Chain A
């Protein structure tokens, strides 16, 4: 069974721009969660989608948004990029929503200049 895939793997953007990251979960998994990983803050939960609905949300500004499609694929969007948004963005999928065993993708490394 294929694992979680994330595209693109690397991205360089300029302050003020917006970016969209994509995540394809493991086949059969209906939950997709997004995390931001930085050296200073560590791993922080962004949000979770289950059956195309946002179920949980972390403490991030409204510039961070996401959606999930009927095939469970998910996208995350960050508008008006700031330097502090530079991070590794990880997507994880699971069978059930919430604190289930989550399987992570390799991440998208976003650099904002």
Chain B
């Protein structure tokens, strides 16, 4: 079964500083990987995704993530955070489905989330 670990429950970063949120996954093959962000009282917004190809993926709001197969990691980075980036961040993994019509075999498995606090 697939699983996701986000080791940091809370992270505090000063505005303007760089950010890296860690994500490790467990899956037998190359998975689909996602990062989502959730603001209080809101649903989840997709930041970026990795399906295949270039291991460094760019997302919205200046975020990027790097897939490292050898480390089973998919860490999220941003060079300079803004106060509006304060939110809950979730990493998710999905199983590839070889059925031929695309998509995956199961629903997404999410990590427990990392709460990002921005200091002025």
Contacts and interface: CB of A to CB of B under 8 A. Distances in A.
Interface in B1-53: 31-32, 34, 36, 41-46, 49
A104 B44 contact: yes
Contacts of A33: 107-108
A58 B97 CA distance: 17
A95 B106 CA distance: 14
Contacts, number: 79
Contacts of A100: 32, 94, 102-104
A4 B46 CA distance: 13
Interface residue range, chain B: 20 to 34
A48 interface: yes
B78 to A, nearest CB: 20
A44 B97 CA distance: 20
A99 B106 contact: yes
Given A104-B45, A106-B42, A45 B108 contact: yes
Contacts of A25: none
A99 B45 contact: no
11 contacts: A42-B111, A43-B90, A56-B105, A56-B107, A95-B103, A96-B101, A96-B102, A97-B104, A99-B103, A100-B102, A104-B44
